[in-house]
Amino acid sequence: MNVYDFDNTVYKGDSTFDFYVFCLKRHKEIKRLFPSLTRDFLRWKLKKTDKTEFKQSMFAFLKYIDLKKDLKDFWKIHTKNIKLWYYIKHRDDDVIISASPRFLLEPVCEILGVKYLICSEVDPNTGEYTGKNCSEEEKVRRFKEIFPNGTIDEFYSDSKNDMPLVLLAKRSNRIKGDKFLSWK
């Protein structure tokens, strides 16, 4: 099976950030959250909190939107950000593994015909994580939990944070834009 990181790998950009900006343009009341979001961003950058806590603060915007409608409209526009090479490489047993939340990636995985999605579990009503942020070693743990005997034929990612999966795969591709590079 082939395993793919999503943001900046299969998708051009960061889907969570793009969805946030998309919703901010539609729902101006999200601006009310700027002071707490700025505070929590600074706390994370100063290492006084972890990334999960910062992301939960950001996902507080979910209470101001119509998630079902906004997701449908978002992916209608942003599916164009799926890189062409992914359509060529796509296989029936592909796995997308991402730190992005399930509620955000499920619709696009359905569009792409991806059956296996491993990602961060975030309550779509509250923005609270119901588990750990799906990154670094957590990606490996979850992959092995779902596919105890699974082997990764090829892995694709843009991020050094995915080195645990790079080491697990038979072959790994570092993605930079639309280029395939080796991991060094």
pLDDT at 37: 85
User: Would you list the domain boundaries of the chain?
Assistant: 2-12+82-181, 17-73
pLDDT 10s digits, 18-41: 999 999 999 999 999 988 888 888
pLDDT 10s digits, 112-131: 999 999 999 999 999 999 98
**DSSP letter, residue 8:** T
Residue range 2-12+82-181 in CATH 3.10.20.810: no
Give the distance from CA 144 to its chain's centroid: 19
Residue 3 has pLDDT above 90, yes or no: yes
Q: Using CA atoms, how far apart are residues 62 and 58, in angstroms rounded to an integer?
A: 9
pLDDT at 160: 94
Name the pTM for this structure: 0.93
Could you tell me if 154 and 171 are in contact, meaning their C-beta atoms sit under 8 angstroms apart? yes
pLDDT at 182: 85
Q: Using CA atoms, how far apart are residues 147 and 172, in angstroms rounded to an integer?
A: 18
The alpha-helical segments, DSSP class H, found in 8-101 are 15-26, 34-45, 51-58, 67-78, 84-89
DSSP-based three-state secondary structure for 119: strand
